[in-house]
């Protein structure tokens, strides 16, 4: 049991020693590749505007469909007259 504990502790120590926190080149490269907050805010505003415009368009289309569904066609009126005879 002691051998297993020492083996696990040794493996953990080797794994942790391989992690270096002083690699500033990679940190700076990652920071350079990130967009600025202004760009992200602009993209978020564009997405919100697009969503609002598509919602407005779909509501208008739904209103058009409902308006056309409420208008009785001449064929319907003729069918009602025939069925009343």
Looking at residue 69, its pLDDT comes to 57
Looking at residue 23, its pLDDT comes to 67
Would you mind telling me the total number of residues written for the chain in this entry?
A: 85
- Residue 83 pLDDT exceeds 60: no
Q: What share of the chain is helix, strand, coil (3-state, %, to 5)?
A: 85, 0, 15
Long-range contacts of 16-20 (CB under 8 A, 24+ apart): none
- Residue 81 pLDDT exceeds 70: no
Q: Which residues contact 37 (CB under 8 A, 6 or more apart)?
A: none
**List of E strands, 1-81:** none
pTM of the model: 0.38
Render pLDDT for 30-56 as a digit per residue (tens, 0 to 9). Answer: 777 788 889 989 999 999 999 988 888
């Amino acid at each position: 049991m002691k051998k297993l504990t020492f083996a696990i502790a040794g493996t953990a120590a080797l794994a942790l020693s391989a992690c270096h926190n002083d690699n500033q080149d990679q940190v700076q490269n990652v920071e350079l590749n990130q967009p600025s907050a202004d760009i992200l805010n602009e993209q978020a505003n564009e997405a919100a505007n697009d969503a609002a415009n598509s919602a407005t368009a779909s509501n208008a289309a739904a209103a058009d469909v409902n308006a056309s569904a409420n208008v009785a066609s001449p064929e319907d009126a003729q069918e009602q007259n025939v069925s009343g005879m």
